[in-house]
Amino acid sequence: MKVFRLTAWAFGLLLVSCLLLYLFRSPLLSRYASFFSIHTATKGADAIVCLSGNKMTRVPECLRLWHHGYSRILMVTDEKPRNSRFQELEMSNVRFAQEVTRKMKLKASWQVLPSTTGGATSTFDEAEDLLAFAKQRDWARIIIVTDEFHTRRAQLAFRKVFKGSPIVIEVAGAPNEIFDEYNWWQTDLGILCYLSELIKLPVYWLWDHEPNLVQNS
């Protein structure tokens, strides 16, 4: 009888917990997503650097920051081709950025951040490329732009690479039209992005250099 009573209590507690999770799923899931989003960009930086990945969201956000005076210098990172045989069929980061600039009718110009390894394959690679380039130009503060869900992990990678350097790295998150931190669980893409960060972020905490198993997001 005692075992039955304990089992009933445990089952009831489980049901109540599940009910509470269901009723408060929206604020809980939003708080979870907000953990991954960081926005620290301020005006007057030496450069705005668009990280490789989702060009459709990151480039327009870079241009928005440029238009509002966050920096006069715009850069894109040099990403390693996924298939060098057919790379000429895909628009490069800088060419895409130039086309978006023309579409937005802005008079901004773009530079390519030179790669020291033949093309970046991770956020760590991009951080190392930027550190080498920024040192040559005595830059003091740089804004990196990536997708909102990727900002905390990007900041972590850059802080590790820039450790010991006086250069300040600020982060800006680019929004998209499909999901945000308040509804990400309602779309396949949102679920994929925010749940993958739960796996990738601990990996970046453990590594102080490019982890071979984590590629550009």
Give exposure, 131-144, as e/b (b: 16+ Cβ within 10 Å): bebbeeeebebbbb
Q: Where are the beta strands (DSSP E) in 24-180?
A: 47-50, 74-77, 110-113, 141-147, 168-174
- If you search the block for the tokens 């102080």, which residue do you land on? 208
Answer for the pair 59, 34: CB distance below 8 angstroms, yes or no.
no
Task: Give the range of the structural domain holding residue 65, as residue numbers without chain letter.
Answer: 32-206
Asked if the structure places residue 116 within a domain, the reply is yes
- pTM of the predicted model, to two decimals? 0.85
Tell whether 23 is covered by a domain. Answer: no
pLDDT value of position 27: 81
DSSP assignments along 115-138, one per residue: -SSSSB-SHHHHHHHHHHHHHHHT
CA distance 217 to 207: 17
1 belongs to a structural domain: no
- Report how far residue 191's alpha carbon sits from residue 204's, in angstroms, rounded to the nearest whole number: 20
Residues 209, 124 contacting (CB under 8 angstroms): yes
CATH number of domain containing 192: 3.40.50
In a domain, 18, yes or no: no
Q: Identify the DSSP state of 79.
A: B
- pLDDT (tens digit per residue) in 168-213: 999 999 999 999 999 999 999 999 999 999 999 998 888 766 555 4
Q: Which of 138, 139, 144 is nearest to 159 (CA)?
A: 144
What is the count of structural domains for the chain?
A: 1
Examine residue 15 and state whether it is found in any structural domain, yes or no: no
Per-residue pLDDT at 120: 82
Nearest-angstrom CA–CA distance, 209 and 211 = 6
**Is residue 177 domain-resident?**
yes
Strand 110-113 relative to strand 47-50, pairing = unpaired
Instruction: Please check whether residue 214 lies inside any domain of the structure.
Output: no
Residues of the chain with pLDDT under 50: 11, 17, 20-21, 23, 213-217
- Beta-ladder partners of 171: 144
Q: What is the pLDDT of residue 20?
A: 45
Q: Is residue 25 part of a domain?
A: no
